[in-house]
Structures are given as structure tokens and as C-alpha cells.
Amino acid sequence: MRLRLFLVEALRSIRSSMSISVAATVTVLNAIFILGIFIPVYLQVQSEVNRQREKLDIRVYIDDNATVAQVNGLRTIIASHPNTESFVYVSKQDALDQVSKQVDPEVLAELPANPLPASFEVKPKDPEKAGELIDAVTGNPALDTSGGDPITYGKETADKIIRAGNIIRYAGLGLLIVLMIASVLQIANTIRLSIFARRREVEVMKLVGATNWFIRWPFMIEGVICGVVGAVVSVLLLLAVKLAVVDTFFELSDSPFAGQDGATLSFPELALILVAAGAVVGALGGGITLRRFLRV
């Protein structure tokens, strides 16, 4: 391929229609900038939802009077259940220790005996199927039925988080797709404008016997140049926003996101994705929109 020739042609046409090239570049810049904000926010929310889901433990309280055999039986059921990710045994003393961190020890000292039951803390593999695990242990003789429900699980909270997570995931994905399509259309439109302005030129090229690809390559390279320049500038803007706003915000606040920044996608990775997206969008915009002008 005569890359150098095509490159020269592409640069020539950028120079000769500077204003349209700038318009196309700015269009890419806009789209990529929005994408660059949207992607990390989406991933961050997603990972936060996952983190919340992971916190949802099932707690199974054990009757003080249960025999060792009964407790071991319960342990076996939990340990062998397919939906058990991990579990810990919390003895009566452990439970008291946990509470004593939050409550004034003097109050606890007043108690005649440790009122807290021992328990298993079970982390389910799939929070959405926590019900199966709960069903498996319901009615077990080792359960503490003295006070209230022997099995607790933040079901309502869990359902809310799961639903919210799903909504965010699908709505976000939908929004991302719409945003991408809108960007491609907008860029294609700008490039169509540029090609329309030069349709006479394309006509002349065809008349002297240029093949479609010979005409198309410089336009695609031009699209890639506009796309990459737009993407690089928007990455620089994003970097500025990150340094000036996001990083400062995390430093100053106790946000639960603090210290997690970049956990899902590092900035260089994001930048690479955005620049690649700019290049692809530019090439497609230049190559596809040219098609209808090539039928001379």
C-alpha cells in the first residue's frame, strides 16, 4: 500500500478544508469526552453495587441448648451447600466482644449472663439465590427459636441493591450504546459535510481512473487523524478534570469511593480505549460516508 502517498493526500485535504476538519475533530472531542466521563462513573457505580452485595451475609443463630452434634450437623449443611461462598462460626463470647465495641462496657457488666447466641455468618456465592440456603437450614433443631427469627438476612436491602444494580447495569449499558451511536452519527454527519463539499473532487478522481479504495484511503486516514486528535485532546481534558476535581475530592472526603479510584480501570487504560475509539469512529465515518459519492 502506498501509505506515504495516502498520508500526503490526507494531510493536504485536512489543510485545504481546515474549518470542516476542525469541526469533525471537535465533534469527536465532545463524544469522547462524554464517553470518558461516563465509562469510569459507570464502572465505579457497578463496582460499588458489587461491593454492597458482598456485604450481605446470612446469619444463623444457634440455640444455647443445642448439642455439639446438632451444631456440627448444622455446620455440615452450611459447609456443603452449593451456594455457600464462605462461613464463620461466631461463638457467644465473640458476639459479646463485637457488641462491647459498640456499647458501653459498664452496661454489659450489669448483665447477669451473656444473652447473645452463637451464630454462623454465611456469605452466599450468589445473593440472588440466598433463599435456597435459608430454606436448607430452616427448621434445623440447632436453631435458636427463643427470640424472633433464627435466621436473619437483609432481604429487603439485598433485593433493593440487586434491583438497583440491575437497573444501573442495563440502563447504563443502554445509555452507553445510545451515546456511541449518537457519536458515530454525528461524526459521520460532519464527515459527510466535508465529502459533500468535495464531491466534485471525488468525481474528477473517478474520471481519471482512481479506484474506489484509492479515493477512500486518504479520506479514512483523514478521519483517523481527526478522530485521534479529538480523542487525545479530550483525554488531556479528562486528565485535567481528574487531577483538579476528582482526586482533590477524594483527598478531602471520607467518601466510600476514596482509595478505590482506578480499581476498575486505570487512567492509562481508559485513555487507550478512548483514543482507539476515536480512531475507529473516524475511519468508519470517513470510509462509510464516502460510499454514496463513489457511484459515478
Measured between alpha carbons, how far is 164 from 177 in angstroms, rounded to an integer? 20
CA distances from 34 to 2, 43, 116, 228, 240 (A): 36, 14, 53, 15, 14
Could you say which of 18, 109, 113, 207 contacts other proteins (CB under 8 A)?
207
Shortest reach from residue 211's CB to other proteins, in Å? 5
Shortest reach from residue 279's CB to other proteins, in Å? 24
Contact characters 222-261, other proteins, x per CB under 8 A: ----------------------------------------
Q: Among 163, 144, 145, 143, which residue's Cα sits nearest to residue 52?
A: 163
- Bridge-partner residues for 88, per DSSP? 121
Site for other proteins in 15-34 (CB under 8 A): 16
Could you say which of 44, 196, 206, 260 contacts other proteins (CB under 8 A)?
206
Stretch near other proteins under the rule CB under 8 A, chosen from 128-136, 148-156, 196-204, 266-274: 196-204
For 192-214, b/e burial (b = at least 16 CB within 10 A) is: bebbeebeeebeebbeeeeeeee
Shortest reach from residue 254's CB to other proteins, in Å? 58
The 3-state secondary structure of 218-231 reads HHHHHHHHHHHHHH
Does 208 bind other proteins (CB under 8 A)? Our answer is: yes
Task: State the residues that interact with other proteins by CB under 8 A.
Answer: 2, 4-5, 8, 12-13, 16, 200-201, 203-212, 214, 296
